[in-house]
Amino acid sequence: MNKKTGISGIAVAAIVIVALLILRNVIGGGSVLGSVIKIVSIVFIALLALALIVLILALVTADRKNKDGTGEPDDEQAQLIKNARGELMSLRRAGMKIRNADIRSGADKAAAGVDRILTELKRQPDQLPAQRQFLNYYLPTITQVLKKYGHFEESGVADESVTENAKKYFTDVNAALEKQYENLFSKDKLDMTVEMEAMTIAARREGLLE
């Protein structure tokens, strides 16, 4: 339950309690309020009931908006985006350490592509379930490949073959990220799992992944 729903629930409970107390006072006849005050009390109860109905309808509408992707992401979805943002920061930090200009440029472009995807996912939280594997697995894999290449550079073993493989990997990754972003606006979704997995297997085969 998010914060807004919790506050609304407290408001509903308060309205119900006040209405019940007034109703008991009116029906019980324990107070000498007079018929006019009793009528006013009944009208007030009716207004409280109307307010309760409006509040419940507002809660239902807000919940539907969230499920339709037009509201704010829920707590689990927000945590998923937060974790992905953390991974994006790791990708950017790793890119700053790369000496090869082409690969550093490819990594910067990948980071920008991921940032654009995450920004759109915050606007369309209903898309998050379909992006979970990408955010939890393939995004960290991109960072791992970059870190591995950085380690090769530091160790002095980043020969031409390794560098070319890394360049190709980031060229393919950036093309895939562009498709991934376009998918967020398309009714006919492309399944990027096979494409991302093929790049991951190739990177592992070429020694860019453990």
- Residue 203 neighbours by CB under 8 Å, 6+ apart: 141, 145, 165, 169, 209
Alpha-carbon gap, residue 130 to 13, rounded angstroms: 37
Q: Identify residue 70 by its one-letter amino acid code.
A: T
Of 33-37, 123-127, 149-153, least confident by mean pLDDT is 33-37
* pLDDT for the residue numbered 68: 46
Confidence of residue 69 (pLDDT cuts 50, 70, 90): very low
Asked if 135 and 203 touch (Cβ cutoff 8 Å), the reply is no
Q: How many helices (H) and strands (E) does the chain have?
A: 8, 0
Write out the H or E segment, with its range, that includes residue 101: helix 101-123
Least Cα distance to 183 among 193, 197, 198 occurs for: 193
Q: Could you say which DSSP state residue 70 is in?
A: S
State residue 16's pLDDT score.
59
**What percent of the chain lies above the pLDDT cut of 70?**
68
**Entry pTM:** 0.66
Span 62-84, mean pLDDT?
69
With a cut of 60, say whether residue 75 has pLDDT above it. yes
Average pLDDT over residues 80-99: 96
